[in-house]
Amino acid sequence: MALNNGYVNYSSFRQEDGKVIGRIRTGVKAAYPAAGEQDYRFFVEPLSPLPRGYEDAQRLGFTGFMSRIGYDCSTFPSDKEAWAALEEQWSGKLVLFTPALRNNKYFVIDDVQAEAEPLSMEDGTAFVPVPVFDAEADPAFDGDINKFCWHLAEGKPLPGLSRRYWDRAQLPPLVLAAFRHPDAGKKKGYVLFAPLHEETFRKAEITEGGAYFELPDKRDLGYAPVDLGAPDIHAQIVLCRTAPLCFIPASLVPFLKENLAPVPEDGNLLRLLGGRKRQGRASSQRQGRGDAARESAPEKGKEKDAAQDAPKKTAEKGGEKGRRSGEKTAQKKGEGRKAAQEAKPAADAVPAPEALTEAAFLDRLARTAQNRGLLYTAQDLINFHVSLKVSCLVILAGMSGTGKSGLVRLYADAMGLPKEQAVMIPVRPSWMDDSDLLGYLDMKNMIYRPADTGLAELLVEASRHPEKMYIVCFDEMNLARAEHYFAQFISVLEKEENPVVRLYNPSLAPRIYNSAAYPAEIPVGRNVLFTGTVNVDESTYHFSDKILDRANVITLHQGKFRDLARIGRTEPEVWPEVSAAEWESFRRVSDTVALTEAELDFLDALNETLRKSGPAGGFGYRVARQMGRYLYNIPESAVFTRADGLDCQTVQRILTKLRGSGEQLRALVAEDEEGRLTGEAAAVLDRFSRLSPFGESRRVLLRKAKELKLYDYTF
């Protein structure tokens, strides 16, 4: 273990997702990280579930280092003084930490925070982590507990919880949401949400857009108000100060869930929780579906009693820890459900504006193009949109002046992004490595010097604001060899789990003066969209397969020049900003390859044909999976069908790699004397014409056949 200016080098450990709560055990041990330096180890007993592979840590505990919690090395002359200082700092507190594995065998802790120990905590208490969402503060919900409930039931993203705090292998028994009654002043309340008929949610998925918790059925979602400040509950739980988590004793969970009532069909919880519905915020309107809210006179007496009694009953249940009989529990549970089922929505509720749907966004995109007097086909706009949803990099190709960079700016305008969230980076021919793109570490002055592209600053900003969307466009990205300056991003783009851009060695971070502004590693989330533009001429380089395998390469259609006469500019519309949660709601995720058997047969036949062109021919599993993801994400549209998508993907993911000499390719693509397409590749398209006409694919193959005839080579 090396030491740098009093800091332990942790470059050889693997940090896990999620947080664990624990208690510091008595005693410390000396450690000697370097000659003449003395650190002290302390040991933490975990009290909540651990990640997979950490089972032995339950018995052995975790190791922490005092140099990592604010003490310099060689501060204490003996174990006694070191323990006295540690005990004084952490007396009456629990430890919230991120579990890590050092050298694949030592259980260590990182990112340590102090949390208040519950007043009535007993030895051997086992805690269960529970996510806590702030529906009042998060702009995605704007204080509307009904909107939060709808997101949870419909499987929509819940912003505020990332893998930094939650291990998705852990299935929560419940989630908590903080909200404020419109007429309750500054006091916050909490609502408990949990499955009615299962012990935990079925699945937890954590993405950059938020958290998803899967229910067996959205009608199986129950709720209950809970007063976390009630003495009997407050004395047992750990409501974290620095993380969106609450740790609840496992024995308390069943009693908190006893008063669950089914979420009402109209989704109007606020009425049942004792608050008046906000004007213009009626979540009874189902977003994206337009379900009309039901209106009838509420039974006010029952609503008031149910809303006022539920927190009190929940607190009493938790404090008594189940001493009341099962009959009373069942009776109260039934009464709570009956009150929820009989309650009616408020008659004066005003429907809220619908959340942005994908169809509405595509309409916004088309209107933005029309307002700016730009000529883009509907197919190109939808193709670009779907490619951005599923691909880590989208490259727009074509001759100069066809509107490649303009399409990126148009898309950013339609998303309502301010200029600082949509960055155009002109690529320079002199770029040789990623220091030209990101910056470099000045070892002499121990400072990180960012490049003038602004990319490092944007990535840092995006990592700190996962609720916002960002677009990066590498303009003319083939003026330099992308395999050189883009090398680190090639590796990052192929990682679907926790991609990270490294600016410098993390072990040097304690010695870098501006490490707070420029951290050693920057997580790259799905809230950053990467695009590029290319021109193919004598001044540019061609892409290698390692980039083409990871990108959708789109060649824009050029319309007729006479169409310029009929278009005109109008006053541009200013659109509200699309959040990361809204963007994530556009994306569909499938656990399978998402291709039909006929489509898989088509890919097999085409792949076998391409392999005949040489050892570099063909394509791999990655391309097939990403094509399936693209087809699965095509929105319902009359102008762009699955057949059109399959044609586009064949061009963008497969035929872009078809290049070489006439000797290699003449059997694959050829042109007869009448200018018609022939060859083995065309024969495959003919055989599977029931899937798609493959109009774009045929045009590309015919162009390559003409290049072979003229130059005996295709680009």
The DSSP call for residue 679 is S
More confident residue, 293 or 241: 241
**Is residue 706 helix, strand or coil?**
helix
CATH fold group of domain 356-585: Rossmann fold (3.40.50)
225 CB burial (10 A radius; 0-12, 13-18, 19+): buried
Mean pLDDT score, 138-165: 83
Integer Cα distance of 164 and 15 in angstroms: 10
Radius of gyration of the chain measured on its C-alpha atoms: 30
Q: Where are the alpha helices (DSSP H) in 535-574?
A: 545-548
Phi, psi of 395 (to 5 degrees): -110, 130
Lowest-confidence range among 71-85, 348-362, 669-683? 348-362
Integer Cα distance of 119 and 615 in angstroms: 69
Amino acid at 173: P
Distances (CA, A) of 106 to 18, 22, 26, 29, 63: 18, 17, 19, 15, 8
Q: What per-residue confidence (pLDDT) applies to 286?
A: 34
- DSSP for 28-44, please give it: EEEE-SSTT--EEEEEE
Integer Cα distance of 552 and 560 in angstroms: 25
Strands (E), 476-594: 500-502, 521-523, 528-534, 551-555
What value does the mean pLDDT of the chain take? 80
CATH fold group of domain 3-116: OB fold (Dihydrolipoamide Acetyltransferase, E2P) (2.40.50)
What is the three-state SS of 423-481? Answer: EEEECCCCCCCCCCCCEEEECCCCEEEECCCCHHHHHHHHHHCCCCCEEEEEECCCCCC
Question: In which band, very low, low, confident or very high, does the pLDDT at 238 lie, cut at 50, 70 and 90?
Answer: very high
Cβ neighbours of residue 217 closer than 8 Å, sequence gap 6 or more: none
Q: Which two tokens stand for residue 122?
A: 């007993």
Task: Report the run of H or E that residue 170 belongs to, with start and end.
Answer: none
pLDDT tens-digit map of 315-347: 444 444 434 433 443 344 344 444 444 443 443
Instruction: Give the residue extent of every domain in the chain.
Output: 3-116, 127-342, 356-585, 588-715
Strands (E), 173-215: 175-179, 189-195, 203-207, 210-214
Question: In which band, very low, low, confident or very high, does the pLDDT at 208 lie, cut at 50, 70 and 90?
Answer: low
Q: What per-residue confidence (pLDDT) applies to 639?
A: 82
> Taking 50 as the threshold, does the pLDDT of residue 4 lie above it?
no
pLDDT tens-digit map of 535-569: 876 556 778 777 888 889 998 887 667 666 666 66
Q: What per-residue confidence (pLDDT) applies to 29?
A: 92
The DSSP call for residue 652 is I
Q: Where are the alpha helices (DSSP H) in 575-616?
A: 580-586, 597-611
> Taking 90 as the threshold, does the pLDDT of residue 131 lie above it?
yes
Integer Cα distance of 435 and 451 in angstroms: 7
Q: What per-residue confidence (pLDDT) applies to 189?
A: 84
